[in-house]
Structure 1
């Protein structure tokens, strides 16, 4: 099947996700007092990492190799981070923005996977990969705890957006509405998790629990 045709909405979501993820990558390097080259590298890897892995898995052309604006957006974001104090970007506001990028990217990834003939459940997983892998690569390279190890809901928000996007496509609902609702639903969940520290129950070893009793 051919690649999903981007609407202005999906274009906007795509660029927003890339820019936000690129900013989080650049800020990691900025906090470590790295050079601009390192900041640009972190911006690029974080911005395109999830989409690159997705495209390789679904046997699609790697998206940023055919779109000259993607790398340019990452470089521009690194420049913004270079010329501004990190304190401007720290705190809950960046987490909220990251949540929007996460869920928008999850929708884009799921929609693109479906357009390449990927079955529904793997398509949902491709949406999750698209939204989360860039941040994971960033954290691994920086040698810090991965973003998916945060206590509040993160991957779950991406999963919700990807699932709704796939369900809407299978139901043959209008794509613009499906993508809008899917992004908004995942973002709302992520924002609520940040605001109220909502988390799924953690694993508890029953053997250790019995021993302690």
Structure 2
């Protein structure tokens, strides 16, 4: 039985991201329709951006109906399982990290299969990983995680995209090694949240000059 590894990882990433969107809808007090729409936006958004950049015809989210199952299943699961909002914020971050870990791999893999070079594949992997989250956060009226100076978001995606690209060139990228890369990205993202790791600010810290009176 042949396993379509890119499709498996893509659908798993869609589901994880969609759950993060539906959980955010719970935190924001949205209704069930809002949960489905926000989950669809984050779950499918990064892949749509990726497919448009690759100019590979209609995006997979629109040409393959199975992609629509991920946000619907995510919204239903959140509706039935989540009973309160006490731990929702933490769950949003966990499922978002899972989607980030998977999408940085599938974005790079699709770029490589389309004939793009390594640098372009890594960049597209990062864009795929962070694109849906940006759309989700803007729609939910909050600062996108990728622009949050208090934690690392794009750096784990960059690492995952680079590792996946390197493994692909070596001929070692498969379901097992891809899963290992995803676990590394997920762990780095969660460790960054726990220990408050962050990238340097856009400018070095500086002190305002003090002027003498008189």
TM-score normalized by structure 2?
0.85
Q: Which residue of 1 aligns with 2:66?
A: 69
Task: State the superposition RMSD in angstroms.
Answer: 2.4
* C-alpha deviation, 1:51, in angstroms: 0.5
Distance 1:181 1:210 in 2: 47
Where do 5+ consecutive residues of structure 2 fail to align?
A: none
Q: Which residue of 2 aligns with 1:105?
A: 103
Q: Which residue of 2 aligns with 1:190?
A: 189
Distance 1:78 1:212 in 2: 55
Matches for 1:26-175 after TM superposition, within 5 Å = 26-60=22-56, 61-83=58-80, 84-87=82-85, 90-150=88-148, 151-175=150-174
Q: Is the 8 A contact 1:110 1:166 kept in 2?
A: yes
Distance 2:210 2:166 in 1: 44
* C-alpha deviation, 1:122, in angstroms: 1.1
* C-alpha deviation, 1:46, in angstroms: 0.8
* C-alpha deviation, 1:190, in angstroms: 1.1
Distance 1:181 1:102 in 2: 14
* C-alpha deviation, 1:41, in angstroms: 0.9
Q: Is the 8 A contact 1:110 1:126 kept in 2?
A: yes
1:203 maps onto 2:213 in alignment: no
* C-alpha deviation, 1:11, in angstroms: 4.2
Q: Is the 8 A contact 1:13 1:101 kept in 2?
A: no
SS at match of 2:106: helix
Q: Is the 8 A contact 1:136 1:146 kept in 2?
A: yes
SS at match of 2:164: helix
CA displacement, residues 104-155 of structure 1 (integer Å, 9 cap, x when unaligned): 1100110011101111111111111111111100111122111112321111
CA separation of 1:40 and 1:149: change in aligned 2, threshold 3 A: same
Q: Is the 8 A contact 1:106 1:127 kept in 2?
A: yes
Q: Which residue of 2 aligns with 1:7?
A: 3
Q: Which residue of 2 aligns with 1:22?
A: 18
Where do 5+ consecutive residues of structure 1 fail to align?
A: 1-5
Choose 1 or 2 for highest CA Rg.
Answer: 2
